[in-house]
Structure 1
Amino acid sequence: MFVAIDQVFTLENILYLAKGALLSVAIAALSLLIGLVLGILGASGRRSKHKVPRAIAFVYVTIIRGTPLLLQILIIFSVIPSIYTAFTGNVLRINPIVIGMIALSINSGAYQTELLRSGINGVDKGQWEACETLGLSNWKTMKLVILPQAFKRVVPPLISEFITLIKDSSLISCIGAVELLKGAQVIGAEYYDVMSPYMLAAIFYLIMTCIVSCIGNKVEKRLAVSD
């Protein structure tokens, strides 16, 4: 099964996979941040008094959460460039890493929309009434009072979302992005032994998720103390 384990477990291969692991973390971190922006917009839309932004946010969340992430990656990778070529006659080539980051951001944004919406709904109604009494606009109320309290409530689930994104970044290997999993596949093809590099990749994923989980636990404890 592990026919070339002694050849795979070399410093050169470990460093090669470490580079892929760092790329996976970077993709997940950037996707989380972009998704946070989309989540704020989506949550604002879901809570809007106007039908149009509320409908747009609802459709966005429903479609993204109701379809597989892998399918979303493949659509951005193949369908969108095909549509562009059909209309312009030019070939659209996008870096697979960029495509993966776009797909992960859009997907994460839909989930963060619901996280933030629940966090906002959890803020005491008296806070809204106090801001209204002070004459603050809805935007200032949200920016200065509601969102800071909502973020405090959703930090733990956001850390869980970050862990999910680190693992889900492996899906972009299917479009040729050389992150951690793709790096393991490259090494496996070179030595005709896929189990050894896969096991090494699994160790990297476990290390990354455990580190983030430990950081998340410490942050959660600090937030609990501040309460």
Structure 2
Amino acid sequence: MTNSPTPASAGIPQGNKPIKAVPLRHPGRWIGSGIIFLLAAWFIISALRNEAYGWDTYRAYIFDTRVATAALHTISITALAMIIGIILGVLAAVGRMSPNPLMNSVAWVFLWIFRGTPIYVQLVFWGLLGSLYQAIQLGPLSFSLENILSNMFILAVIGLGLNEGAYMAEIVRSGIQAVPEGQIEASRALGMSWGLTMRRTVLPQAMRIIIPPTGNEFISLLKTTSLVVAIPYTQELYGRSMDIANALFDPVPMLLVAATWYLAITSLLMVAQHYLEKYFDRGSTKELTPRQLAALADAEGALPGNVTVISERRK
């Protein structure tokens, strides 16, 4: 059993005398951090002592069943809208990369409309859609839209999903285009079909690029659900909290209740995103032999976090 050679024994020049590294001192950082900490402590203490925040009402409604049910509605709207957004995003991304001018034009118009108009305006339009269309007439056939356009939950999901699809299209397209073309050519040389190439070669590598912004979009979409009151749909977290606040004539504590629930849900989503990124990041860690390290690393530089030095087998 042999010990792993150090960078010095791998051929990296070290000089005659050992280098004594003295870390730089940054007193400004400590002073700035101390000021920020004191300001944060002052704000928290003053807020806890301020009766205008209505902490008694906050404690009474933080675990209210109506608020908890509204939080479930919010999560349902977010999940369903995100599914629609991912499906539309993949289709629009394929359309944008397609050599077919018709598909490319349709995808471009879709992105132009839903990325170029505010989400609040779109949701207001979806809320008014029932007054514009009552039925679809196809010759002698007529299909009533009353049941669909009167369901505010469905309209909220569709409105958020279409808007999210426009942003997911660019995320998916950038992830796929980031995969080197040589990977696709190598898969074709091995006899893989287009579908197998996408599933086994392109998508696993693209997911490392797609997952982080997709997680951010999901968290952002959760908070955007507060705008569905424009449809109007008031069964989600913000709408229900405001209904209770209007009955109590005390909006501040109910805003704090809604903010606490949003913060708790987004915190769980951030943890899930971390482990999902870690899962798809498998295989990206690089292992370098001392000889490779001597050729690539700087003698005085620190090793990157994803580099592991392994010992060479002696022949």
Q: Do they fold alike, i.e. is TM over 0.5?
A: yes
Which residue identity is paired with 1:81?
A: G
Q: Percent identity?
A: 32
Q: 1:57-102, CA deviations, whole angstroms, 9 ceiling, x for partnerless residues?
A: 1111121111111111111220x32331387797734211111110
Deviation of the 1:18 alpha carbon: 1.7
Q: CA RMSD in A?
A: 2.4
**Distance in 1, Cα, partners of 2:65 & 2:117:** 35
Answering whether residue 173 of structure 2 is matched by residue 117 of structure 1, we say: yes
- Paired residues, what number? 226
Deviation of the 1:109 alpha carbon: 0.7
Match of 1:62 in 2: 112
Answering whether residue 152 of structure 2 is matched by residue 96 of structure 1, we say: yes
Q: 1:126-151, CA deviations, whole angstroms, 9 ceiling, x for partnerless residues?
A: 12212333454544433443233322
| Structure 2: gaps of 5 or more residues | 1-50, 285-315
Match of 1:207 in 2: 264
Q: TM-score under structure 2 normalisation?
A: 0.65
The structure whose Rg is larger is: 2
| Structure 1: gaps of 5 or more residues | none
Match of 2:295 in 1: none
Answering whether residue 243 of structure 2 is matched by residue 193 of structure 1, we say: no
- What SS does the corresponding residue of 2:179 show, helix, strand or coil? coil
Q: 1:167-200, CA deviations, whole angstroms, 9 ceiling, x for partnerless residues?
A: 0011112313310001111110111111111111
**Distance in 2, Cα, partners of 1:67 & 1:61:** 10
Match of 2:70 in 1: 20
**Distance in 2, Cα, partners of 1:196 & 1:205:** 14
| Higher relative helix content | 1
Which structure is higher in RCO with an 8 Å CA cutoff and minimum separation 6?
1
CA 1:66–1:2 in structure 2 vs 1: closer, same or farther (change >3 Å)?
Answer: same
**Conservation of the 8 A alpha-carbon contact between 2:228 and 2:234:** yes
**Distance in 1, Cα, partners of 2:200 & 2:150:** 39
**Distance in 2, Cα, partners of 1:135 & 1:225:** 25
**Distance in 1, Cα, partners of 2:135 & 2:79:** 34
Match of 1:165 in 2: 221
